Structure 1
Amino acid sequence: MRNRPGIARAIDSLEGQGAKIYLAFALEQIRKLKEREAPLETSVSELIELYDELIESAEKKAAWDPVPTCTHVHFVVGYSFAGSIKAALKQLNWSGTHKVITLSGNYAIGPVHALDSYEGRKARRDWFQDHITESFEVCDDPEEDYDQLLERVNKIPEQAKVIVWTSRNACEQTGMLHAFRLLSGRSNFLALYDACTICEELDNRPNATISYRHSGEIPSDKLQAALVRMKENSYLSDSDKTRLEREWQTISKQSGALRIWRDAAVAEVPDDYYDMYLLDKLDKLRPASDPRYVKAARLIGEAMGCCEQYIGDAYFEFRLRQLIYEGILEIKGVPSSMRRYSVRRKKLSSN
């Protein structure tokens, strides 16, 4: 039997205990079909889901594995920026020699203390589970994503130049420092680029300016120009690497859950830093004399649109719920997601 390429990759990607688990699951579904223990549709659906999961996992792995001729590896923060830079690389016909490693978390929020340790990563996951309603899905093995990240770092070819992208916000700056921590000890040439600054310099004119808050806002056609502008001899010096390592050590010792970009540096601020800002936006949308409720999604959208920092809607929604719990706001609806409830200032009792 001749396997299709996708199936062959899926088979090759299975190893040891993982292969046994998938095989056992498939055999169990086939047994149910044979003995008519479960409806036909149920077992077939389970087998199709298993197939899709294996094919998707193998494709992701194949998309990363660098070829011997790989010349560049790009570290980016966030799926939005990753998608744009991958599109830009494809448009430049560089996809074969340029690979991308994505740091998916929002480094502006949540604890980043001791992320080199299992305890530190668990504390961060626990915080997201406890405070962010639309948090990431926790897999059976909570360390799986981190192990995959380390595996990708270890597979970076020795001859490849590693480029870490950042911008003027706490999320990408902290992610950038984490990337250099992961790269510590490698012999690759390392470079650091600010995508927003490069694109602004290329596009801004005396009569027309544009400012990006984070790299995910940059369209792929603009990123092509930034990629072409990379200087092949712009490597970080040993003193630069030492400075970045010190900056990471400073941030990774902090225990707070919110960071902003202030005075050209990442600054830790109290969890309630934006509470008064949210209340001010609410009062502008609905004065205290107006009894109507405001949709949480509308309020958070207003807060994000006016905020100079890149924080993300999840943190604003978390603080909105805290204001409800503290009795400052009243709620109508179910706070399972920001689109399902509305808020207003709590009215003081006349008694």
Structure 2
Amino acid sequence: MESIDFDVLNTALSWHEQGHHVLLGTVTHTWGSAPRPVGSMMAIRGDGHVRGSVSGGCVEDDLIRRIQAGELQETSPFELKYGLTADEAHRFGLPCGGTLELLMEPLSAASRIAELLAAVRQGLRVTRTLDLDTGAATLSTDSNAHQTRVQDRQLIAPFGPRYRLIIIGAAQMSRYVAQFALALDYQVIVCDPREEYLKEWDIAGVELSKEMPDDLLLRLQLDANSAVVTLTHDPKLDDMALIEALKSPAFYIGAIGSRTNNIKRRERLALFDISSAEIDKLHGPVGLFLGARTPPEIAIAVLAEMTAIRNGVSISQTHAARTDPLPGSGTEGGGSCMVGEFTK
């Protein structure tokens, strides 16, 4: 489940439980250019408060106007279309030729949003099927649905667990990576068996683990919604995590270090029961090349690369960047200062 979806559903459920009239809007079809893809969601309550987005803002403005005027009071799901004409597309801020179709669902107990969220929090993949005639929803964990669609008078929408990031090491760099990952709604777990580092951790919303990295990853049973980044500079810790992570279906695995250290790391990993194809999954030096020099900039580079991989964007490994250490980086002579480590 995308972070915005989780936020929209949580908010919609809270409003409904407070007694508000709430409509859950889902983009079900687009033609031409459209600002938001199929499956995008928003919630709007009876007084016009909105959470989420289905367009650049103008469609939301129209829905707010209409619901505050006493419209959109239906008790069964209904469909709305925007951008049918060039004038309407312009009025609603849609790109040239863009048209979108929304399914508006009045929330009720039959919507089963609370059960859906509970299942997703447990790490389950759930398909929610909404009957457009009755407004009743059913939940299934054995469906092969991969994309939101309307079929046979039913809205079929798949939801998956939140993405999670396991950070190995609790030093300064980890703090910035964790903060940015939290902003992207990752479940963040920081692992460091060195107590002197964990005792200084004070960022809320992060799960801390004193386990050895390999033990933690085995316990967590990494899946395709998992990412692992090793940031300790200590092969005894980083390599232990990488050995387990590279054998897993994790969508992103990255390791801090210079080009030279990355080559040595790959040579060490090849000594274990890891195939060359598995070692090739490693992103190291970690992060997109942004010319990053400070810990916050480097953290942005890490999360930028992770986001690109998560979104299926191809990352070129042949950046037009210098391969020698940056002046003053502290990496001359084989040091391991963070600055300059991400030169690719």
- Please identify which structure carries the higher helix content: 1
Select the structure with the greater relative contact order (CA < 8 A; seq sep ≥ 6).
1
| TM-score bin (small chain) | under 0.3
| TM-score (ref. length: structure 2) | 0.23
TM-score by length of 1: 0.23
Whichever structure has more strand as a proportion of its residues is 2
